[in-house]
Amino acid sequence: MRYNDAFNFKQKVRMIDLFAGIGGIRLGFEQTFGKDIQCVFTSEIDKYAFETYKSNFGEENIYGDIAKINASAIPDHDILLAGFPCQSFSMAGLKKSFDDPRGDMFFEIERILLNKKPKMFLLENVKNLITIDNGKAFQTIEKRLNKAGYKIFHDVLSGKDFGVPQNRERLFIFGISDLSAYFEFPKPLNIPTNVGDILEQDVDSKYTLSDKKWNYERERVRENLNVSGFGCKIFNGDSPYTRTLLARNNNNILIEQEGKNPRRFTIRECARLQGFPDSFVINKVSDNQAYKQFGNSVCVPVIKAIAEQIKQFI
């Protein structure tokens, strides 16, 4: 990546965190920049994710539905971060693209870019965004970001290539207002991963599937053998990585147990699958909400690696 001296920050880098969830993207940037970055605005509509976010980042500058916030009321910032809703683009969803109101959330990002003109942005979504509607959805996004005054770069990165034992492929779009700039996404770190590294010891029996639930899961798999990615899959401590952690079904990845039915991953194990440190607070909401939150979040080490690349501009 070519160093670009057009961005000479004399003070802290100011960022905003949109569709923030529990703050995985913010965390990756803070791990990279430390005290040299400041989050001046956060938006998150889910009240439970809001609670987890506040428990870890404090309550300052946190707001609700971005669609109800005037862009001019948002503080000036240098970089916009957004993991905008992916359900309308997801392989696991209905793939309605912009026909789904959740797909319209991209235009909220565009609205803020046009009004605030930050120097850079980083967007995250499912890799399917590139191919849905024969590529038309992504082409629409690309054209509108270009028209807003940004040169964009995109790549698909997976957690398993950055030290996290989860095959979680996500699309990242980096935009920069200097049209002469050149950006390269980080290359795989080739760090060996092992599911056993993130497993807890002496796990509560409540995570073990009952005979009824286990039989139900096996029957679902048997009835849908020709449906790609359907149903649960079992892993063990020697597995190099798991399939993608989902928000809507925490039984899609299971851990085998000797002499017992398999079990679900614990909440803390899900956090570790996403690269969150054990210091991250997750006890302010129910287990069901916590599973949803980590399934909707990002692999923090991937974000950190991207942030390290971006830092070279600054």
Same domain, 185 and 254: no
Same domain, 64 and 92: yes
Structure tokens at 287: 């287990």
Same domain, 142 and 78: yes
**Per-residue three-class SS string for the chain:** CCCCCCCCCCCCEEEEEECCCCCHHHHHHHHHHHHHEEEEEEECCCHHHHHHHHHHHCCCCEECCHHHCCHHHCCCCCEEEECCCCCCCCCCCCCCHHHCCCCCHHHHHHHHHHHHCCCEEEEEEEHHHHCHHHHHHHHHHHHHHHHCCCEEEEEEEEHHHHCCCECCEEEEEEEECCCCCCCCCCCCCCCCCCHHHHCCCCCCHHHECCHHHHHHHHHHHHHCCCCCCCCCEEECCCCCCECCCCCCCCCCEEEEECCEEEEECCHHHHHHHCCCCCCCCCCCCCHHHHHHHHHHCCCHHHHHHHHHHHHCCC
Same domain, 210 and 278: yes
Q: pLDDT tens for residues 261-282?
A: 999 999 999 999 999 999 999 9
Same domain, 25 and 55: yes
Is 229 in contact with 185 (CB distance < 8 Å)?
no
- CATH number of the domain residue 242 falls in: 3.90.120.30
Cα separation of 22 and 61, whole Å? 15
Residue 18: φ, ψ to 5°: -100, 150
Cα separation of 76 and 74, whole Å? 7
Within a domain: 253:
yes
Is 304 in contact with 32 (CB distance < 8 Å)?
yes
Same domain, 184 and 200: no
Cα separation of 126 and 124, whole Å? 7
Same domain, 138 and 224: no
Q: pLDDT tens for residues 238-252?
A: 999 999 999 876 778
Q: What is the reported pLDDT for 92? A: 46
Same domain, 178 and 254: no
Domain housing 154? 13-189+294-311
Q: pLDDT tens for residues 32-66?
A: 999 999 999 999 999 999 999 999 999 999 999 99
Q: What is the pTM of this model?
A: 0.91
Same domain, 212 and 94: no
Q: What is the reported pLDDT for 247? A: 86
Contacts of residue 137, Cβ cutoff 8 Å, sequence gap at least 6: 89, 97, 98, 103, 129
Segment among 1-15, 127-141, 173-187 with least mean pLDDT: 1-15
Q: pLDDT tens for residues 84-113?
A: 986 555 444 454 555 554 458 899 999 999
The tally of domains found in the chain comes to 2
Same domain, 59 and 151: yes
Within a domain: 123:
yes
Q: pLDDT tens for residues 154-208?
A: 999 999 999 999 999 999 999 999 999 999 999 999 899 999 999 999 999 999 9
Within a domain: 25:
yes
How far CA 299 is from CA of 27, 167, 193, in Å, comes to: 10, 10, 14
Within a domain: 20:
yes
Within a domain: 3:
no
Same domain, 105 and 234: no
Cα separation of 162 and 56, whole Å? 23
Within a domain: 6:
no
Within a domain: 229:
yes
Within a domain: 1:
no
Give residue 221's Cα distance to chain centre. 27
**Active site residues per annotation:** 86
- CATH number of the domain residue 182 falls in: 3.40.50.150
Q: What is the reported pLDDT for 2? A: 45
Max distance between CA atoms of the chain, in angstroms, equals 62
Same domain, 172 and 46: yes
